[in-house]
Structure 1
């Protein structure tokens, strides 16, 4: 959109007088800011030539006490050849977690944080009373830009449920017509076609409907995560889930790839909507990563509008009961060892190397309300010794995931590769210490509902500006009714919140589930246009899209602080709102810093009065 020679610009009907050209050169970018990043001419999965890949480092690695250590030689792998790739110490982590747990139940601290949060809510109401019309006027002055054509990222959505029910139904019917004779499943050593699979259920393509699929969450799923998980099975049949929404099946995930690509096409058509889809790695076997990468590369499952997150379900107890794993360390090795191998020698896992270029982070998923039979402390067994059938606690999973990611990120940074962040499901249900682990280790979290019950943690999440991807429609069906959702309260106080869909297949009805989420939130909570645009801007800031892409979407200074970071031509968020958020956060941080300094000075005065040293001015 930027025009070098304004005097011959195709947007102007006549030649511009030379004396106005310089003025126009200044005015043109003010009016038309480029918002679309340049598109690559080649497909990112095309270049599988080993010669074009980074060379082998010759490094070796092995897991010690649940964390992978990297060595400059494959033999011997000992302290003399170990690379210095630091990670958080286990003892320090547990000590810090205990400090945090003591902090959040401390009476005076709770009162202080509660009052500060109430103050932030009241201050925002005052800001709205004084500046709402100014914000609206600033938005009206911006040409072309409005809520519909600003960038939005669905920061929490699962790939296996990223389509709506009608989309999946139409795809199933199309597949039955297009591939009637294709073997899709092996039953007792005999291949079954799609038609035969449905015939075994006494169904034809004509019989199928949205009601028959029965995949929408309803009032029966409230506080019943087991029933919600069962909704992933079309017509209640796990065989159909395996055929249509799995990457590793008899047809090598062909149908799932097709349907994901259709969702990607819809996102590209909408132009301004983007998604961060979650794909699963379970940790049951070492070849899961290669299979997943092969699926993505073979079927060319890629879009500029989509980035991947890898979700790791916390299901060690299930695998242990089935004798698929001997101990928890084996699960960690299955998850992380292929990533280290692909980083040290990309040629050893060429598809995985290409696939990882578009993976932005890790997620930890499961029902948080499940009771935990173990408290993570210094007496907890190390991963190699965790052989019992009980599941490790949430904080145990998160620590070992984060520790291995930290070492991996150090290694990838050395090689010039991009790094990963931890963005777990956290605070949807269950005990409050999940949010403590999330605060200590996560870049962003998904849900965060329980922060409404923990003022100290909520205030800390505000001060640290940890992103919270909230899905009120999902919560409404599972854990918390829509009107009780804390999102509007979090937003008014200045927490870094964004709207996301979670599972469109279960919760949404339209072709644009993210817009549906925004629409319902705006209607129920009476959000202004400025509020909506702020949520959209937050979603881009929280997302894993590259710095270069964000510079186009939000403006080249987006990573700075205050109104200078905002470009209203791209974000449609008025500078008044951004300045208010920045100034309020600075004031809160200064309040804490001044209190700490005052306490330090008081301590120094006390020490001076108790010491035998001469008073100032005496020799």
Structure 2
């Protein structure tokens, strides 16, 4: 039945375009000032350590070559020049080919090889020096690159981002170190909010970190500092300030790896002392439970709250997507749902956000022409475009526009389509309500054309009326089938909803 409903939705959208596309384009043309380039669009899935393009990183490395101690290796302190001497390279030799950070054919279905692309020139030393916040120079170079990136965002004006930084859960001081790095380097931009990504690496910490004995140790390291900063913000001023800029949590790792399944009577976190990693659904539930309680507490204190938007459905089993549907506010990728019409239909009904990265998927798991993004969009799922890792996948200093440009050419989108996707990205993002009101309309939270302001979104009311009418129709059908409502009861319920 889900297959039939999705195919019908797709066919209705094609019919809508046949009848109304010319009208939509004409309405958008007479809308003063706005076009695709000057509507707000948010990169809702971008990793901080790979947020610059490769030419940006190359130029920065060349500018930084000087006699400054940057790393401690093999029992001695090394300057950056000495590091390059040990690699038998000079600034003149350095090129994009030698930097070798771009994903290529060797990374397809090989996530381990892709992770090696984070090492400039294949050197873990350069990764630590330039792409880490916690190193001998206190993350100075990465902070400078980030400030330049913020300047680019400010110059473009209409492009926003939600940069992801990592908290590993190895010890409780990680939060204070990260907050200190953010505050000391004044890493704030009106065009950016921060997302915390938590790698699912308990099995690695268990083997390498003596303080991690059971899974609850890792969970406490991640969430206990947040509760303390919420209870006594005056004792943790930098962390409290940083948390005002954090909008969501993410869960990251290679989903294609096999995992141990637990279908009943799972062990509690304080008894999980196995060296095996935990299932994806276990991680997501523990994150959701802690974030849910933390949000209630912070809401009572009048502080900002956090969403859960994990990596999900890039590869691996469909039960990952099932867990995310039950617990997450939005997901990144979601391309494995192409194999499950039922999950697609559920995500459609609930309008759960999907931040899809077709250029990233093309290099890692799925060729671009097979990417389901276009099908999701036509069927009415809440989809947006994101870059994932510009350092590995993009060529210019405006990677998000590259992503939109590629989608426009591959899927033959009109500017109205692109503006609708951009509007979705703002709705999915964690920017404050007052900011969203300024960007896409004062009543943006209302469904359909009631929540649209074409003077800001460049999306005609005709398009959003179609989307809302179809979603309402599907909800009515489900209510009629599931609750056996009369027509009057159904109309009353939908109006209230």
Same fold (TM over 0.5): yes
Aligned equivalents of 1:314, 1:524: Cα separation in 2: 34
Count of residues in Structure 1 that have an aligned counterpart in Structure 2: 486
State the match for 1:121 in structure 2.
10
1:217-255 deviation digits (Å, cap 9, x = unpaired): 000100000000000000111111000000000000000
- Of 310, 317, 334, 1:431 maps to 317
- What runs of 5+ residues in structure 2 fail to find an aligned partner? 488-497
SS in 1 for 2:446: coil
State the match for 2:39 in structure 1.
150
State the match for 2:229 in structure 1.
342
SS in 1 for 2:248: strand
- Of 108, 113, 116, 1:230 maps to 116
1:304-334 deviation digits (Å, cap 9, x = unpaired): 0000000000011111122441110000000
- Of 268, 274, 292, 1:388 maps to 274
Aligned equivalents of 2:113, 2:484: Cα separation in 1: 54
Bigger shift: residues 345-354 or 328-337: 345-354
Q: Does 1:207 align with 2:93?
A: yes
Aligned equivalents of 1:323, 1:281: Cα separation in 2: 15
Aligned equivalents of 1:164, 1:597: Cα separation in 2: 52
- Of 141, 162, 168, 1:282 maps to 168
State the match for 1:477 in structure 2.
363
SS in 2 for 1:489: helix
- Of 417, 420, 426, 1:534 maps to 420
Ranges of 4+ aligned residues in structure 1 off by more than 6 Å: none
State the match for 1:182 in structure 2.
68
CA deviation after TM superposition for structure 1 residue 480, in Å = 0.2
- Equivalent residue runs for 1:533-572 within 5 Å: 533-572=419-458
Q: Does 1:597 align with 2:483?
A: yes
Aligned equivalents of 1:474, 1:566: Cα separation in 2: 31
Aligned residues of 1:159 and 1:279 also touching (Cα < 8 A): yes
Aligned equivalents of 1:353, 1:525: Cα separation in 2: 44
CA deviation after TM superposition for structure 1 residue 350, in Å = 1.1
SS in 1 for 2:234: helix
- Equivalent residue runs for 1:437-476 within 5 Å: 437-476=323-362
- Equivalent residue runs for 1:90-105 within 5 Å: none
Aligned residues of 2:479 and 2:485 also touching (Cα < 8 A): no
Aligned residues of 1:376 and 1:395 also touching (Cα < 8 A): no
State the match for 1:272 in structure 2.
158
Normalised TM-score (structure 2): 0.97
SS in 2 for 1:383: coil
RMSD: 1.1
Who wins on radius of gyration, i.e. which is larger?
1
State the match for 1:133 in structure 2.
22
SS in 2 for 1:192: strand
SS in 2 for 1:301: coil
SS in 1 for 2:387: coil
1:251-271 deviation digits (Å, cap 9, x = unpaired): 000000000111110010000
SS in 2 for 1:155: strand
Aligned equivalents of 1:597, 1:305: Cα separation in 2: 45
Aligned equivalents of 1:199, 1:597: Cα separation in 2: 73
Aligned equivalents of 2:371, 2:397: Cα separation in 1: 24
SS in 1 for 2:270: helix
SS in 2 for 1:308: strand
1:140-160 deviation digits (Å, cap 9, x = unpaired): 110111000000000100000
1:136–1:328: structure 2 CA closer, same or farther, 3 Å change rule? same
